[in-house]
Amino acid sequence: MKGIHITLDELIQARLLAQRLRLAPRNIARAQRGGAHLSRFRGRGIDFDEVRVYQPGDDIRAMDWRVTARTGRPHAKVFREERERPVLFAVDLGASMQFGTRVAFKSVTAAKVAAFWAWCAARHGDRVGGVLLREHDSVEYKPRVGHAGVLQLLNAMAEPVRLSTSAPEQGVAQMLQRLRSVAHPGSLIVWVSDFQGLNATHESALSELRRHSEVVAVQIYDDLEAQLPPPGRYNVSDGRHTLAFDAADPVLRSAYQQHFVQHTQELQKMLNALSIRMMRIATHDDTYAVLSRELRAMYGR
């Protein structure tokens, strides 16, 4: 059913929109392979970096004879090599993401975000991989070059998701543990989730991850999580238990809205302290339009 489950065809179609957007990171990558991003590893690349005093082992072909003649000391040119950058998409498809009241489930929106960004990354030579959180486990897909990297991720996200009752906190801890083991220095990690389980107890692990990689958090939320529906009596169920509540109660409405605001503010504060950029996309938004706007702002394009 559209909006509840995402299909592989829908995720592949995101490629057409991604072709219009140029994605080029500002930061220097530290990966080990050749590609489209500047590396901290210096060598014979196409981008000139600096001139410094000649050191034993420097390539004689890199000698800067003009500076050598002017200073009376041998100087050599140093270049920065270009490298591929691993881009890991950490996509939360856990229990709390299997929810939505307008247009789509949060899990569907998350998959669309990852697909669009993955196509952008592959188009510019990055290696694409990811970690998907499903039920009580997470599955890793190693970064691969080109369409192969994107399609392995898209195929996995298009698989039917069975509902579970696992706590969001367990999913966050599991995701962080897996990311710390698979993310190489210099990676870009795009974490797409509602972050309902992320709290201060995870800050240390997140800080360790951020120390060696660039991390971007994309918060997915549903409008019903931000505010109660119009006044009236409603029944809600988790599939096992049913609860009735009166949405006309002003105290309840205020407390409900404040809970969401407080969670978002605390999340933003934690991420700001770790220099992690956060984007927010609602299930009823035009996902690709909002993400395009955010990426242009992020990369100055």
Does 160 share its domain with 74? no
Does 18 share its domain with 46? no
Are 112 and 10 contacting, i.e. CB atoms less than 8 angstroms apart? yes
* Low pLDDT (below 70) residues in the chain: 1, 22-49, 57, 79-84, 135-137, 162-169, 300-301
Strands (E), the chain: 37-43, 47-53, 75-83, 86-92, 127-134, 137-145, 188-193, 214-221, 233-237, 242-246, 277-282
Does 69 share its domain with 166? no
Are 39 and 83 contacting, i.e. CB atoms less than 8 angstroms apart? yes
Q: What is the pLDDT of residue 267?
A: 93
Does 178 share its domain with 263? yes
Torsion 142-127-267-248 (CA) sign: negative
Does 139 share its domain with 233? yes
57 assigned to some structural domain: yes
Q: What is the CATH number of the domain that holds 183?
A: 3.40.50.410
Does 91 share its domain with 161? yes
Q: Which residues pair with 214 in a beta bridge?
A: 188
Residue in 157, 168, 220, 228 with CA at minimum distance from that of residue 198: 168
Tell me the whole-structure pTM to 2 decimals.
0.79
187 assigned to some structural domain: yes
Does 64 share its domain with 153? no
Domain boundary among 83, 99, 116: 83
1 assigned to some structural domain: no
Structural domain for 107, as ranges: 8-24+85-299
Does 161 share its domain with 285? yes
Does 197 share its domain with 139? yes
* Residue 23, both tokens: 């994605």
Does 107 share its domain with 146? yes
* Residue 54, both tokens: 């000649």
Are 270 and 195 contacting, i.e. CB atoms less than 8 angstroms apart? no
Q: What is the pLDDT of residue 237?
A: 79
Domains identified in the chain, total number? 2
Helix orientation angle between 168-182 and 203-212, rounded to the nearest 10 degrees: 30
Does 213 share its domain with 277? yes
147 assigned to some structural domain: yes
Strands 127-134 and 86-92: parallel
Are 140 and 182 contacting, i.e. CB atoms less than 8 angstroms apart? yes
Q: What are phi and psi of 10, to 5 degrees?
A: -60, -40
Report the C-alpha dihedral over residues 173, 209, 179, 268, rounded to 10 degrees.
60
- Report the amino acid identity of residue 29: A
Does 76 share its domain with 93? no
Please, which residues have CB within 8 angstroms of residue 41's CB and are 6 or more apart in sequence? 30, 32, 80, 81, 83
pLDDT (tens digit per residue) in 156-198: 999 887 655 555 667 788 888 888 888 888 899 999 999 998 8
CA distance 261 to 247: 18
Q: What is the pLDDT of residue 44?
A: 40
